[in-house]
Structure 1
């Protein structure tokens, strides 16, 4: 293990460049993945009449996913600009 990069900035490796990412796709896929089990649990609720806490977990996953999509819509320019500034 080399100790020189800790105290000598000249010995450090160059930091990697920031990548352009599209968080819209990530939030959308995650939300759709929460939608599948929530439909299954909703069907179980309507067929059997019993409420499962797993259904609420799926609903919270959908709420967080939709909130992430809304956040991404309003802040897309900020995180894209940050990646461009670091190049």
Structure 2
């Protein structure tokens, strides 16, 4: 281990990155935020939560939309064969 720190050129090359569809990743995350938002709204109505929980879930959904927009704009770049 220490020899790799002293001689990094001896390290094996990194494996190739996995090619994934980031749209599916973003949509999966957004669906989890949507479920959490529904649960937090129910808890808010029942008086067991504050407004901070639904606001956090809403922010997660908005960031997911930003991620989808980024994915759409950069799709050709990250999906291009190397």
Please indicate, yes or no, whether the TM-score normalized by the shorter chain is above 0.5: yes
Structure 2 gaps of 5+ residues are none
Structure 1 residue ranges without an equivalent (≥5): none
Distance of 2:8 and 2:28 partners within structure 1: 43
- Give the structure with higher Rg (CA): 1
Partner Cα distance (1:47, 1:60) in 2: 22
Secondary structure in 1 aligned to 2:69?
Answer: helix
What residue is the counterpart of 2:53 in the other structure?
A: 54
Deviations 1:32-84 (A, max 9, x none): 00001212333455676x85110100000000011101110111111112xx2
TM-score (norm 1): 0.71
Count of residue pairs the alignment pairs up: 81
Please name the residue that 1:34 is paired with.
33
> TM-score scaled by structure 2?
0.74
Match of 2:17 in 1: 18
